[in-house]
């Protein structure tokens, strides 16, 4: 980052004149033989979490011929990201940008997309619609199925029949993960409950540790989470002898004995798809979604503690999910206040748009969304 700032002015003049020249010459050339792709992360790229998952995806592009990867970490979800995008475009000649954090989408990425119509922007998690610029788009993975698989393994491994979930904020994605985790466990034993604690922020190390301790004090013996960096939760839980299921990336190096499995993103696959399409000069899709079947998400390898029955049910369900159209949320289903949220006979597969506005916790989850 500092390097780029040091060479700012001269490079800027060179590049702008070069791009101006290109604009005159290259109007007819359609196929780009080389491409520079920019990745922007909201936190450090080795956080054992959300950002690491994206950085691993970016790393998978570095070996591809013709691709140059530029990255910047710790870019706040403010006008800073706009500056970062502009410098990646103007100074490094990036033709395709991946601003990966949720808050980058609106208004920053949409503004940049309007200003630079020749550059392609793809955002992780945003909801791209027809009204947005055509050179923008979004991609995301259906990771709820993976939390369901976490739940199956947790359901087999728990002795107290109590699970714990450290969650950041009660938004639909997080609620779907919590519900999926519990429903997975209830597929093993319908008496299992899951206690959830919301910390209120995506990254608050001390509060996450306190939440984990409080869950364990109440008897939870398998814990998972949905925060930006699960490192603290994994270490605290394993340190007190509980099992953990991971999230975002593979955290097994942090607790090799206690790590059961984990719900991971598989961005390498997605970014390689984009990079190939982009190199070939073809049009990139605007709206991309995928789950286990499409290889957008994956599971960490099962840990050494996982028992044989757990492994069997895990593998059978995984195989079923890989066929696609697997429905976790299906009726009759009540929320934890007793109201029916899904009528009997109705089932939502992972692609169902209704799931993206989830506002309830299912029966068996102890906690409240507000």
Partner 1 sequence: MATTDIGLWGVPLAILGGAIRVSTPFIFVSLGETITERSGRINLGLEGILVFGAMTAYAVAVMTASPWLGLLAAAGAGACFGLFHGWICKFPRVNDIAIGIALMLFGTGLAFFFGKSFIQPLAPHLPALPFGFWSDVPQVRAALDVNVLFLIGAFLAAALWWAFRNTRIGLIIRVVGDSADAARAMGVNPDRVRLLATAAGSALAAIGGGYLSLYYPGSWNESISSGQGLMAVALVIFSRWNPLGCFAAAILFGGAGALGPALQSVGVSHGYYLFYAAPYVLTLAIMIATSSPGRTLAGAPGELSITK
Q: Does 31 bind partner 1 (CB under 8 A)?
A: no
Residues 102-141 as x/- pattern, contact with partner 1 by CB under 8 A: ----------------------------------------
* Positions in 282-341 near partner 1 (CB under 8 A): none
* Positions in 238-257 near partner 1 (CB under 8 A): 239-242, 253-254
As a whole number of angstroms, the distance between CA 2 and CA 257 comes to 40
List, in order, residues 6 or more apart from 285 with CB less than 8 Å away: 137, 277
User: Of 42 and 112, which CB lies nearer to partner 1 in the complex structure?
Assistant: 42
User: Of 130 and 217, which CB lies nearer to partner 1 in the complex structure?
Assistant: 217
Q: Which of 172, 219, 285, 295 binds partner 1 (CB under 8 A)?
A: 219
Looking at residue 129, what DSSP letter applies?
Answer: -
Polymer length of the chain: 370
What is the DSSP secondary-structure string of 255-305?
-TTTEEEEEEE-HHHHHHHHHHHHHTTPPPPSEEEE-TTTTSEEEPPPPTT
Q: Which of 40, 136, 192, 211 binds partner 1 (CB under 8 A)?
A: 211
* Positions in 146-165 near partner 1 (CB under 8 A): 159-160
User: Of 145 and 224, which CB lies nearer to partner 1 in the complex structure?
Assistant: 224
In angstroms, the Cα distances linking 266 to 10, 57, 262, 263 are 38, 7, 12, 10
Strands 259-265 and 297-299, sheet pairing: antiparallel
| Count of Cβ atoms closer than 10 Å to residue 353 Cβ | 8
* Positions in 41-60 near partner 1 (CB under 8 A): 43-44, 46-48
Q: Does 218 bind partner 1 (CB under 8 A)?
A: yes
Q: Does 366 bind partner 1 (CB under 8 A)?
A: yes
Residue 121 pairs in a beta bridge with 97
Q: Does 221 bind partner 1 (CB under 8 A)?
A: yes
Least Cβ distance, residue 2 to partner 1 (angstroms): 9
User: Of 84 and 229, which CB lies nearer to partner 1 in the complex structure?
Assistant: 229
Look-up: residue for tokens 């989408």? Answer: 105
Strands 222-226 and 162-167, sheet pairing: parallel
> What does the binding site for partner 1 look like in residue numbers (CB under 8 A)?
43-44, 46-48, 74, 159-160, 195-200, 203-211, 213-219, 221, 229, 231-232, 235-236, 239-242, 253-254, 366-368, 370
């Amino acid at each position: 980052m500092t390097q780029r700032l040091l060479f700012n002015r001269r490079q800027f003049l060179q590049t702008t004149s070069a791009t101006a020249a290109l604009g005159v010459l290259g109007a007819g050339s359609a196929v780009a033989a080389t491409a520079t792709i920019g990745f922007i992360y909201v936190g450090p790229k080795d956080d054992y979490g959300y950002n690491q998952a994206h950085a691993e995806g970016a790393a998978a592009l570095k070996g591809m011929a013709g691709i140059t990867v530029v990255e910047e970490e710790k870019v706040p979800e403010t006008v800073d990201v706009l500056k970062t995008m502009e410098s990646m475009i103007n100074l490094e000649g990036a033709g395709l940008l991946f601003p990966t954090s949720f808050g980058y989408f609106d208004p920053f990425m949409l503004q940049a997309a309007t200003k630079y119509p020749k550059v392609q922007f793809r955002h992780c998690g945003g909801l791209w619609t027809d009204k947005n610029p055509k050179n923008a788009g979004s991609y995301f993975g259906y990771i709820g199925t993976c939390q369901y698989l976490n739940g199956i393994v947790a359901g087999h491994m728990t002795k107290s029949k109590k699970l714990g979930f450290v969650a950041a904020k009660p938004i639909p994605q997080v609620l779907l993960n919590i519900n999926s985790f519990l429903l997975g466990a209830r597929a093993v034993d319908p008496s299992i409950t899951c206690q959830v604690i919301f910390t209120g922020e995506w990254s608050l190390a001390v509060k996450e540790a306190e939440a984990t301790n409080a869950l364990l004090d109440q008897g939870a013996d398998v814990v998972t989470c949905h925060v930006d960096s699960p490192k603290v939760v994994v270490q605290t839980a394993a340190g007190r002898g509980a099992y953990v299921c991971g999230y975002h990336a593979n955290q097994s190096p942090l607790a090799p004995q206690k790590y059961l499995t984990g719900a991971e993103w598989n961005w390498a696959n997605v970014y390689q798809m984009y990079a190939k399409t982009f190199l070939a000069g073809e049009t990139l899709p605007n709206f991309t979604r995928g789950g286990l079947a499409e290889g957008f998400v994956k599971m960490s390898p099962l840990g050494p503690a996982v028992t044989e029955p757990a492994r069997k049910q895990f593998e059978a369900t995984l195989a079923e999910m890989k066929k696609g159209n697997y429905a976790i949320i299906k009726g009759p289903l009540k929320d934890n206040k007793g109201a029916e949220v899904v009528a009997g006979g109705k089932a939502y597969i992972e692609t169902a748009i209704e799931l993206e506005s989830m506002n309830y916790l299912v029966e068996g989850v102890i906690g409240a969304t507000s």
